[in-house]
Amino acid sequence: MSPRVMRFVEWTIGAPRGEAPKPVILVRCLEPGCDQESEASRSHMDADRWALQHAGRTGHTEYDEIARCRLVATQKER
Ligand SMILES: [Zn+2]
């Protein structure tokens, strides 16, 4: 009889170890055919300013606000 190996691994996901979550914010224009988006920034003010300037230039008025965080998946054997 061959030996059987059973391995159970639990995964978790979160901010890199020892770091607080640090989201970056960007906004993306939702006007069909317009793929423009702001630079990612740690400040809402930068994204809002970009959207208002974009609205002023183009008349485009709807945006998605996107918050991105770097996450790390780690495994813990049990
Ligand atoms: Zn646009």
| Ligand 1 centroid distance, CA of 58 (Å) | 6
Q: If you measure from the C-alpha of residue 46 to the centroid of ligand 1, how many angstroms do you get, rounded to a whole number? A: 16
State residue 1's pLDDT score.
64
DSSP one-letter string for 23-51: -EEEEEE-STT---BPPPBS-HHHHHHHH
**Ligand 1 centroid to residue 62 C-alpha, Å:** 8
Model confidence over 26-38: pLDDT tens digits? 999 999 999 999 9
Q: CA–CA separation, 75 vs 78, rounded Å?
A: 10
**pLDDT score, position 56:** 98
pLDDT in tens, 19-77: 887 899 999 999 999 999 999 999 999 999 999 999 999 999 999 999 999 899 988 87
Nearest-angstrom CA–CA distance, 29 and 61? 8
